[in-house]
Structure 1
């Protein structure tokens, strides 16, 4: 029960941080702040599943695999959130399912937006993005307006750099799976297939807009 309550509390804290940034546009979060929030918001749920599963197994198994499994769960949660941010701005499939760049309608501080807003030497881009976020906050934006905002993020390389970070994280998760396979002496094809299914390596570097 303690594992459930601890991770649930972590999830609420992370969600609260995310909402605070969305509704208090006076503060632009840094990448470090974002990477501190995500393991609580999304990683907390992943860790909860791992911790609850370990509770029903032998203590010897839990002790042996806990660190690697919890590390994988946290990395997967972080990857999943950043990937969602990236796909929301760059995936035609996401546009069909959720609407075109709907994170921008919500005024959400996604990873690419934070990256673009904190890029040194591009204060003009930062001011334009923040100005547009403050206008019509919480209301649907026109496709043209969202295309323009995505174009600003592309201009400073935020979309491309987000994809690069995701590919690096895919490599980290593959190494963690290899470590688990060595520790358990069992091939874990299911986890490998899951990582491959989420891969952005073949998604290209540009955005599919509308």
Structure 2
């Protein structure tokens, strides 16, 4: 989904910019790394950021029943008979306590939030490396990479 949805929009923007640019560098490979970095970071922040909670709502992706990376990892790493998180997603709940429980479950029972942080770190390193292979200094892209750094 990330590759075709978020990635498709990012690739379109990159190709449009390249079509009017004098540069010969192909930035699509970099875009293909930034897309999942952006989306997974957004999914993680939806679950763990107080700033995101105040803007969008607490764990809004759980209310929407969204199968984000942390949720998929948690479901896959649950005991085979434990459908707890899957059942919470199906409810499309607004209940803060239930969503807090789901978050606790992903944190403590399946370590899915730590896994997501490792994925984000890896994606950021790969994107930084891809950016370094593009010749010349690119201050705007460097600034974007700083914003996408996972803290």
Q: Provide the TM-score with structure 2 as the length reference.
A: 0.92
Partner of 1:39, secondary structure, is: coil
User: Secondary structure in 2 aligned to 1:153?
Assistant: helix
Query: Is 1:92 matched with 2:50?
Result: yes
Compute the RMSD of aligned alpha carbons: 1.5
1 CA distance for matches of 2:98 and 2:104?
A: 10
User: Which residue is 2:137 aligned to?
Assistant: 187
Is the CA contact (8 Å cut-off) linking 2:37 and 2:148 kept in structure 1? no
Between the aligned partners of 2:98 and 2:61, the Cα distance in structure 1 is: 13
Select 2:102's aligned residue among 149, 162, 173. Answer: 149
Is 1:176 aligned to residue 130 of structure 2? yes
Rg: which structure is higher? Answer: 1
CA deviations on 1:3-38 (whole Å, 9 max, x unpaired) are xxxxxxxxxxxxxxxxxxxxxxxxxxxxxxxxxx21
**Is residue 129 from structure 1 mapped to residue 82 from structure 2 by the alignment?**
no
- Tell me, what secondary structure is at the counterpart of 2:72? helix
Count of matched residue positions in the alignment of Structure 1 and Structure 2: 150
Provide the secondary structure at the position in 1 that maps to 2:3: helix
Give deviations 1:100-150, integer Å, cap 9, x for gaps. 10111111111100011112x62244x111122223x3xx42111001001
Change in 2 beyond 3 A, CA 1:124/1:160:
farther
2:5 counterpart of 1:41: yes
One of 28, 31, 34 as aligned partner of 1:70: 28
Report 1:98-113 matches (<5 A): 98-113=56-71
Q: What stretches of structure 1 of length at least 5 have no aligned partner?
A: 1-36, 203-210
TM-score, normalised to structure 1's length?
Answer: 0.67
Q: C-alpha separation between the residues in 2 aligned to 1:192 and 1:169?
A: 15
For residues 59-109 of structure 1, what are the alpha-carbon distances to aligned partners after superposition, in whole Å with 9 as ceiling and x for unaligned? xx4xx412xx00111211111111111000011110111111011111111
Specify which structure has the higher proportion of helix: 1
Query: Take 1:143 and 1:166, find their aligned partners in 2: how far apart are those partners?
Result: 26
